[in-house]
Amino acid sequence: MTTDRSVAAASLRGGLLAAIFLMATSAIGPGFITQTATFTARMGSAFAFAILASILIDFVVQLNIWRITALTGKRASETANAAIPGAGYLLTALVVIGGLAFNVGNIAGAGLGLNAMLGLDPKIGGALSAALAIGIFLSKRAGLLLDRMIIGLGVVMILLTIFVAFQSNPPVGEALRQSIWPDAIDFATITTIVGGTVGGYITYSGAHRLLDKGLTGERNLAAVTRAALTGIAVTGVMRFVLFLAILGVVASGVTLDLSSQAANPAAQAFQVAAGEWGLRVFGVVLWAAALTSVIGAAYTSVSFLDVLGVRTDRSRNMATVAFITFSLVVYLALGTAPAAILVFVGGFNGLILPIGLTIFTYIGYARSDLMGGHRYNRGLLALGAIVCALTWYMGFRSFSTIFAFLTV
């Protein structure tokens, strides 16, 4: 009896840890790293406000999505269809399109990472990374490999970034002040960074991993809530650490190149902070962030295809391979600078975020029947409604600016 309980507890911890790191590594992808470098170079300490805003929005969005998904026991697309006929198909189309756009950026980020690490041509590096991700999903132990790789690379990424942040000696006090009282507020910047950390597929990545681990229903709600809060805290710390690492370089008077086709502002910042070794460290960080995000984007986007009949492990793995392959072909065919892609896709997914959030807010308020009769927490729903309205407003204000990133 004791052994059975121990096994069950270990399984619960393993499932929660897998969901936490899938969400965290998806949120801290190459898009966020490149966006952070780009906007820190442009705005300096004032960008701290956008970071804080993204974390607060993240708390509200992830808590509601994870909890409602656990209560319904169904993937977001199926839940949306049950709540509003046809809404699941709309959400699936948006998430898959956004996931493809994001994955093009993720593969671009993997190419940039291997370029910084080993000097490989970015397109060759992107192709090799995509091939590795495909190999994971073709493996007979895909689920175990997925969990272990994401957790391992996530830990490496966080530790290396903390080291570089210490090396760059950022103005922490000024950053903290401007996180509350910024010199400037840019809605396109906030929408882009929100989209890059919680928009599109990222919103549902951890929640869907919990479903695969069987962590559903009201009995698991407290554990799911703790896991969501832990994941958001981890990503929040990582976001500020990365921002501080780059801010220290910018504040020292170094001007990062944002204009040339080959510009890689985050790589420049790491190199200034820690020399040639810093450039290699950046390569490892960016590649780890990119590879885990390639896997997370593919896994989560394909999980939405349940409503189209893609339900067996084999069909999901084949769809995932096709998803990654298509993303790679698009990346290889594009002439846009990789850094520009990485900034744009965050903004694009930020425009998708309010649609899914609107559907789930409605479910929380009006469809307790889909949650086993559970009366959902009204305080969280009120916060969700406020964030939902805010993301619609920011998306409206920043639509044209976000698409202009592609011309950079």
What would you report as the CA-atom Rg of the chain, rounded to the nearest whole angstrom?
20
- pLDDT digits 0-9 by tens, 75-134: 999 999 999 999 999 999 988 888 888 888 889 888 888 888 888 888 899 999 999 989
d(CA 72, CA 56): 25
pLDDT of residue 142: 65
What is the token pair recorded at 265? 């502002």
User: Do 144 and 213 meet the contact criterion of CB atoms below 8 Å apart?
Assistant: no
**Residue 239 reports pLDDT greater than 70:** yes
C-alpha to C-alpha distance for 222 and 387, rounded to whole angstroms: 23
Buried b (16+ CB within 10 A) or exposed e, 88-117: bebbbebbbebbbbbbbbbbbbbbbbbbbb
Cα 129 from Cα 338, distance rounded (Å): 15
Q: What is the pLDDT of residue 324?
A: 93
Share of the chain above pLDDT 90, in %: 17
Instruction: Give the number of residues written for the chain.
Output: 408
What does the alpha-carbon distance between residue 115 and residue 139 come to, in Å, rounded to a whole number?
A: 27
The two most distant CA atoms of the chain are separated, in Å, by: 64
Question: Does the pLDDT at position 404 exceed 80?
Answer: no
Average pLDDT score over residue span 8-18: 64
- Residue 142: what residue type? A
189-205, pLDDT tens digit by residue? 777 777 767 777 788 88
Q: What is the pLDDT of residues 276-327, one digit of tens each?
A: 888 888 888 888 888 888 888 888 888 898 888 777 878 888 899 999 999 9
Q: What's the confidence (pLDDT) of residue 406?
A: 61
Element (H, E) at 303: helix 265-303
Q: Average pLDDT over the chain, rounded to whole?
A: 82
Distance in angstroms (rounded) separating the CA atoms of residues 253 and 160: 23
Q: DSSP character for 73?
A: T
List, for residues 153-189, the tens digit of each pLDDT value: 778 888 888 888 888 888 888 888 988 888 877 777 7
- Comparing CA positions, the residue from 267, 47, 242 lying closest to residue 161 is 242
Give the pLDDT score at 371.
92
Question: Following DSSP, what letter does each residue of 232-268 receive, concatenated?
Answer: HHHHHHHHHHHHHHHHHHHHTTPPPP-SSTT--HHHH
Q: Is residue 110 within 8 Å of residue 125, measured between CB atoms? A: yes
Write down the pLDDT at residue 217: 86
Residue 386 confidence (pLDDT): 93
Q: Phi and psi for 86 in degrees, rounded to 5? A: 95, -20
Residues near 390 by Cβ (< 8 Å), separated by ≥ 6? 57
Euclidean distance between CA atoms 93 and 116, whole angstroms: 34
DSSP assignment of 105-170 equals HHHHHHHHHHHHHH---HHHHHHHHHHHHHHHHHSTTHHHHHHHHHHHHHHHHHHHHHHHHHHH--
pLDDT at 4 over 60: no
